A and B are shown apart, each in its own frame.
Chain A
Amino acid sequence: MSETALRPAARVVTRPSTPRKRRRRSAYARRQGRAGLAFVTPFMIIFTLIMIAPLGYAVYQSLYTTKLIGGTSFSGFANYSAVLQSGDFWGGVIRVIIFGGIQIPVMLAIAFFFATIFDLGVARWGPLFRAIYFIPFAVPIVVSSVMWGFLLDPAYGPFNHLMNAVGFHNFNWLSGNLMIPSIIIIAIWEWTGYNCIILYTALKSVPRDVIEAAILDDTPLWRIIVRIKLPMVRPAIIMLVFINTIGAMQLFIEPTILNNYQAGVVTNTWTPVIDIYSTAISNGQYQLGAAMAVVLAVIVVAISVASLGFRGRRRGQQ
């Protein structure tokens, strides 16, 4: 291996104009490059096979239309134009943006609060509670949705009994107006523990000497938390905003399951992914569904790029 790696370099030696120093670095760099390539290749092959190729195939499919009568024909951007003009699709996009816009900040605030308490070490049995808060994340979403469905059940759920007991009669957690707030509660329950662990880990990595210096300066605790620790874990928070946003855009399981407990609220276009599912699977228009998925992917990528831009600008300022 090393011999073959050196041979091209030896050829380069014959060129008098090439400085010696650079020649050596070039051989070294090439060797490095090959080693790197060897490491990356297995990943790239799998990534291409299971990610890039299906993506390309989906884009290809989205340019065709299959009819029960008439078969498959090339339809250009007709599917995309149908998606862009679909009020139902964009209604779903707006719904998940509202959902994420409320759920993510509230959840991150709660997660940061608990992460700070664990980080300060003021709570007894911190590791135990960290584990307990993490448990909802380990419960499959289908299972937790079924559980919450029973808890919020319009007639027999304990949460409805609770609302009755405090004077709100005929309260329905799963009614049209409260379905999004209820799913926000469920999502917060599911994801706070996970976000809390990430933030806790980030807080742990804040250098001790910085905090010690602040303590020696008689800085109040809340100032240490808000002015020192919070800015230092900002990259972690931005990352969490970013991945939770992607998750929110793909809201699917919770409303699909809750639909079995309350008729007539979750429509077949309620979120973009439910819309894609019913278009592709139920309506058999899988090419139109592929176009919708591509549009949704573009929206997610746009949000990601915006988020990275935000992150980069912040870094530049510091």
Chain B
Amino acid sequence: MTEKICPVCNRPNISTAKRCWYCQSLLEDEQAEPGMTAEDLAGKEAEVTGSNEVPEWLARVRQRKAIEEMQQTRSLSPESLPPAEESGGQSGNQPDNQEKASREPEKAEASQLPEWLQGLGTPPPSEGVTKSLQMESTPEPENFSWLEKLKSWKARDEEDADTGSEQSEPPAPQPPAAQPTVEGSNEEWLAEFLTPAEESREETPSSDLETRVETPAMPAEIAEEKSLQPGSEKGPEDETYDFSGEEHPPLEEGHPVVTQFLDAEFSGSGSLPQPELPSVPTEEPSDILKEVAPTDNADLDWLTHYQEPEAEEPEEKALPSASQAGTTQPSAPFLGVQPSDWGESIPEPDIEPDFEAPEEEVEPAVLPAWMQGLRPIETKPQPSSVPSEETVREGPLAGIEGALVGANLGAAFEKPAMYTNKVQVTDRQSLRAELLQNLLSEPGEAKNAEEPRRPVRGKWLKRVMSLVMLVIVFAVLILAPGTSLLPVLFPPETANAYRLVNELSSDRPVLIAADFEAGLSGEMGFAAQSMLEHLMLRNIPLAVLSTNSVGSTLMDQMLANSQGLVSSYDASTRVVNFGYLAGASIGMQSLTSDLRTALPYDRNLVQAWTHPVVQNVYSLVDLGALVVVTDDADTGRYWIEQVQPALNGVPLILVTSAQAAPMLQPYYASGQVSAVVSGISGGSAYEQMMKLPGNSSYFFGAYQVLVLAVAALFLVGGLISLVKPAERGSKG
């Protein structure tokens, strides 16, 4: 069995095949004349081109062209000529007839093409193709104003071409790439554009586009500019969709669909996507159109390289080239088009599955390498020839070309006003603030500021007076110890104390509250020592407590000193020390409510009320007397206020310091206090009433001398202050 070699794809087919199983092309016996082989066709093509050095792919393309020409020639036979009515009533017009005749083979060829291929070029196309075309064109009819202009421009161009063809015999076919590519869903105008495209395919080696596609090195400028043509309205996403190769059955090289697609793309009037177009930076449509128009010449320069044989024909010289048409057409369809939003309104992949319809019968295959090379995904963005005007020069996008120009927000906002943290005040306010600061400042600071150093005279005066006092004390104690002038009259409050102690019963204990500090223990000893001796002499049991921490301890010392003078008194059996009573006035108040609860234990944490001295005492009333030994007037007042009302006739005797006596004297006058013994004078008086020598009388002489000395110092100081008044600003 002999095989038929496909003249297009050179692949073997069975002998009975009329079309190539691979590319669906007509085999030799169907295309060429009987007895003419592919080699003959190639040789004929070589004669036409006058060059045998063309590459193999070009030869193959031209071979196919020759086959098509032969088919055209065969279709131009009188039998195949259409009636005159079908030619528009121009039977007498030879160029028109030729033109009509040139279209007839296409129709014949189209009739031989598969249905899906016919649908691509003739209206009404199949639904899938229509949708694909819609995808590639502007979907909204109202945005087709530029397309209308394009059609009018196309029609005028055709008229010019016709006029030129009439002037130059014989009429030549239109140059293929001179027509701006327009795609769209409008079937009528699509048919108008597809027809001349197919016409141009007769003269233009459509396979040149294949070779161009196969040629990997397409000039970047051309690819970019072609992407800016109206036919490439769809964005990179659409291109990616069309050539993704995953959603559609793969198309092999030489497939009619591919061929038609490539022809259309090459001729510039194709409606299929253009694969090699790199992604174009987003720009304003008007800018893009303005840049496309003057660069059409460059777009076609590389194509004319393959059209040299046809360019030598005289009838083609008469026709304006595509580039010339582009440059000489001031009314280019895109120049007057207002920028529209067609680019934004292109529907996105929702039309993706519609493109599968024409390829249902195509055997799925691997996408060829050359087709993969066309995939926009893998295309590398070429350096843009757009002038650097669109390059962002500042901001975070500095150096990036084609960036969208955003709203100039910087100009809409002003720099915020700067506020300093420095308070702006007037002079008057600052003066007042300074005055307030001086008022609030520490007095010591102001004093130090005004008096940087203490006067030397005052310092030495204080030292001299202190030494004088010490010398007097030591002189009296050394020179005349015990020498004193004792008072003859006794204070009545002290005499009452002596009387009360004498009247106390020996079976009722006397509660002694020792509330004095250690610093005044000497004076308190002078005042209380004689009374304590008196109590011991009367063998009166004693109970001691204190509302400060050291009072009971100091009282123990006093009792020990008194016991040394009264040896008959057994302090171990006659004295109970309750120790510290916490709470001050609250503790005193607790004594009045429940004495045994307030004082549960003695100082040694022993049950105090089991002691024989106080075992019969249940309240303050059971006491013989309450003796408060204090150096503080307030403490004495607390005892008077809190405890005295609860005594119910039990004598309250105050043994106080000389400094507290004046403040407690009214309570004696009011009768709240039964007796008062205050200071060294009161102790000395008590000793005199007892007729026992004691420390108070012994030191009373020294005390008197010191009082006289102080009085003398006061007198001298007063006289000096009278003679020499104090300096201004100083106190006394």
Do chains A and B interact in one complex? no
List the interface of chain B (C-beta within 8 A of A). none
List the interface of chain A (C-beta within 8 A of B). none
